[in-house]
Amino acid sequence: MIFDKWKKNKKQEIKAVSEGKIKNLENVKDEVFSKGLIGKGLAIIPEENTVRSPIDGILTVVFPTGHAFGITGKDGVELLIHIGIDTVNLKGEGFTILVKQGQEIKQGEPLVNCDFRLIEEKGYQTDILVIVTNHDQFCLEQVSHENEHVEAQQSIIYHCGRKNE
């Protein structure tokens, strides 16, 4: 497991962005993600078309193509939600953005609707990556594991806040 252990009495929850099956990040077919070059996290193979916010926070980045979102939590945790592999090449086709950059969002709030059938027909992987980009500042524990089915908004990662606190 690539995550640090910590006391669960301080946990903050990062929730599943969609119903689906968990895939460990190292099994994602993109070296930048699978080698953890952007951060630590996991992927969800989606079983529904809506992608939701995994935390309360501010949308710091909303890619105009709808394939990626940056969220900063109130405690400073920074998440990247990246939908699919190389889906930036679709130039927004198959994505209906439901939010705006700078917007305050709540955990569970829809970010984007995706036409995953279209995305797959165009030859792209549909893995939704949930990555803590500033993972070096937080204690993390993955609580959902490879091939496990998760419901949208089920806890998938705990974090304990900043390591130096």
Q: Is 82 a catalytic residue?
A: yes
Residue 94 to residue 75: CA distance in whole angstroms: 32
Task: Give the strand pairing for 128-132 and 149-150.
Answer: unpaired
3 state DSSP class of 161: strand
Q: With beta carbons less than 8 A apart as the criterion, state whether 66 and 49 touch.
A: no
3 state DSSP class of 73: strand
Residue 86 to residue 103: CA distance in whole angstroms: 26
Single out the catalytic residue among 67, 82, 135, 159: 82
Would you state the structure tokens that stand for residue 50, as one six-digit string?
A: 């809506």
Per-residue burial over 95-126, b if 16 or more Cβ lie within 10 Å, else e, is bebbbeeeeebebeebbbbbebeebeeeebbb
Q: With beta carbons less than 8 A apart as the criterion, state whether 6 and 160 touch.
A: yes
- List residues with catalytic annotation: 82
